[in-house]
Every structure is written in C-alpha cells, then in structure tokens.
C-alpha cells in the first residue's frame, strides 16, 4: 500500500498539513480543483507556510482529480459542503481499504462522504488549530491547537499515525471522536450564530448571557437525546470560558459572512435542528436562532443551507 498523503484542498488547513508533512519528508501530493488552478500553482512554484516571522516554500507535487493512479491515503481538507462532491469525483481512484481523514467542522458531511465510498475507511478529525490564507498558495499558521482523530466504527490506530508526530502535527487518536465533534458543534452553535446576529466579536456576547444560557440548556437536552451525555457536561461554563478567552476574536462564521463567503451552517446549527426533529425533541430557542440566521444570510444573498 502506497504511503503517499494525497491532500485535497490547498486552502488554509490543507496547506498547513501539506507543508508540515512535506517538511518532515513524507510523500505528499496536492489535489487541486482544475487544470487552471494547477497551472497557477505550478507558476507559483509551491506552497508557502508563514509561521511568526519565518516563511518557507515547499514545492509539493500537485495534480487534479482526473489524474491517474490509485489513492490509498487521502486528507480531505475542503469545507463541509464541498466534501461529498469532492470525494465522489475521486471515488474511482480510491483503492480498496483506502483511508480518508475528514477535517470538516460540524457533523453530517462525514456521513455524506462515507455513503459515497463504502469501500474506504473514513477517519473523522476535530481540529482546534488555526490557519488562514494570506494569499493564493500562502498560508499563515495563526493559532496553536490540537487535533483529535478517530473512527467510531473501528478503534484500530492507523499505521501512518506516527507520521503526524514526525511532522509536528499535534494529534491524539480517540475512540470518542463523535463526542469531540458534538461538543465543538455545540460550542459553535452557542457562539457563532449570535456573533453574526448581534454583529459583534465573541466578547460582545457577554451582554447576551441569558440568551446563551437558554441555548446551552437546549443543546444539553439535544446531546442527551442523541447519546452524547459527555458532550453536554458543563457546556454553559465552557461556552463562557471560550467567550472570555476569545473575547477579541471574530467567530469563523462571522468572518465568513463578512467576507461574503458561504458558511457551514447546514453542518452546525442546521445539523443540530435536523437531529432534534429526527428525535422528536422540541428545541424552540435553537429553532428560532436557526430561522433568524437563515433570514440574515438570505438577506445578504448567501446560501442558508
């Protein structure tokens, strides 16, 4: 089995992972959107990683999805709404037993991907690292964090897991990956939509703690109903801690809306509301929040799903 890391999506996280793996001498190949992007990448001569005051360029080989050759190990580093269509295009190249690491935030996209490729092993990831694109093909590593990876259907640690440590990518294998993803989803649901609706930094939510308490209580009920009681532990307290620790920051959803970019709402608050409906649980404050957010996005001509 080939040990090459194919990385789909040379955006923020994909570039950060690609540069660190390449720096550690791991075989790495980028999969870019189309021939035009491939040509632009080749003209740029590689990906540049900026960390503090240091910048380094890595001439990582790249191709499009239409290239030939089997893929055994894929890091899927696109947004949640692009994940299933991206994998569908690659499906004919995925070898039997291929492993796909899914970096998408939220929930729902992982199952959409798994449905496309039943012959592959899907490994879910939850990342608190921060990166953004300073320019085309240039990524800034903006926030130290951590990565949890796991496969709810199979506890066996993948044989490549040590590659991450070799590459300086902080990561731990966990059998509780769904709990991690639900916990992050709940935090994002309690914070991100309100920053858009109140047009504020995370710290601005300190003036709306009653609203946040109500949402956390409903999110806790939802987590209990979907078999994730650990993800509900002290949720309200953690939401307040995160708001204080990130008071001067704008949430990722706020930044997407401000930049006129599509948000991942369908896989965050949308997923929470759909799951509640499936379980027959009424969560009026969460549903009202979702409706206000959908209205707000539509008014800006942004997709609301």
Summarize as ranges the residues that interact with ligand NAD (CB under 6 A): 8-14, 31-33, 77-80, 82, 86, 103-105, 127, 129-131, 133, 264
Question: Alpha carbon 286 to chain centroid distance?
Answer: 22
Maximum pairwise Cα distance, the chain: 56
Instruction: Look at residues 139, 166, 144 and name the one whose alpha carbon lies nearest to residue 46.
Output: 139
246 binds, among ligand KPL, ligand NAD, none (CB under 5 to 8 A by kind): ligand KPL
Beta bridge partners of 257: none
Least distance (Å) between residue 109 CB and ligand NAD: 8
- 187 is an interface residue for ligand KPL by CB under 6 A: yes
Least distance (Å) between residue 90 CB and ligand NAD: 8
- Of the ranges 72-80, 161-169, 187-195, 228-236, which one interacts with ligand KPL (CB under 6 A)? 187-195
- 201 is an interface residue for ligand KPL by CB under 6 A: no
Q: Which helix (H) or strand (E) holds 227?
A: none
Main-chain phi, psi angles of 173, to 5 degrees: -85, 130
Q: Which residues carry out catalysis? A: 184
Segment 232 to 261, residues that bind ligand KPL, using CB under 6 A: 242, 246, 251-252
Between the CA of residue 144 and those of 2, 7, 53, 303, what are the distances in Å?
A: 30, 21, 15, 31
Between the CA of residue 175 and those of 45, 110, 285, what are the distances in Å?
A: 39, 16, 32
Least distance (Å) between residue 119 CB and ligand NAD: 20
Q: Which helix (H) or strand (E) holds 43?
A: helix 35-44
CB-nearer residue toward ligand KPL: 105 or 228: 105
Single residue of 28, 116, 126, 188 touching ligand KPL by CB under 6 A: 188
Least distance (Å) between residue 31 CB and ligand NAD: 6
């Amino acid at each position: 089995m080939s040990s090459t890391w194919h990385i789909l999506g040379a955006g923020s996280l994909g570039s950060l992972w690609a540069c660190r793996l390449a720096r550690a001498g791991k075989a790495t190949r980028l999969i870019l959107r189309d021939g035009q992007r491939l040509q632009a990448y080749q003209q740029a001569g590689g990906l540049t990683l900026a960390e503090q005051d240091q910048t380094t360029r890595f001439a990582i080989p790249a191709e499009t999805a239409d290239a030939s050759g089997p893929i055994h190990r894929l890091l899927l580093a696109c947004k949640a709404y692009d994940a299933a269509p991206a994998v569908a295009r690659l499906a004919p190249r995925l070898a039997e037993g291929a492993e796909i690491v899914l970096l998408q935030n939220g929930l729902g996209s992982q199952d959409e991907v798994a449905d496309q490729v039943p012959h592959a092993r899907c490994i879910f990831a939850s990342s608190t690292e921060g990166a953004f694109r300073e320019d085309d093909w240039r990524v800034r590593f903006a926030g130290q964090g951590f990565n949890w990876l796991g496969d709810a259907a199979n506890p066996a640690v993948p044989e490549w897991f040590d590659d991450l440590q070799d590459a300086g990518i902080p990561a731990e294998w966990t059998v509780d990956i769904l709990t991690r993803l639900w916990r992050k989803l709940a935090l994002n649901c309690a914070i991100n939509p309100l920053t858009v609706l109140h047009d504020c930094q995370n710290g601005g939510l300190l003036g709306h703690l009653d609203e946040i308490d109500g949402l956390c209580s409903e999110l806790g009920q939802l987590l209990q109903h979907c078999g994730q009681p650990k993800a509900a532990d002290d949720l309200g307290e953690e939401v307040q801690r995160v708001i204080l620790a990130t008071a001067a920051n704008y949430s990722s959803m706020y930044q997407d809306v401000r930049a006129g970019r599509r948000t991942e709402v369908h896989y965050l608050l949308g997923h929470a509301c759909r799951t509640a409906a499936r379980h027959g649980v009424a969560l009026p404050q969460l549903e009202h929040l979702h409706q206000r957010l959908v209205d707000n996005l539509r008014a800006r001509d942004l997709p609301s799903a």
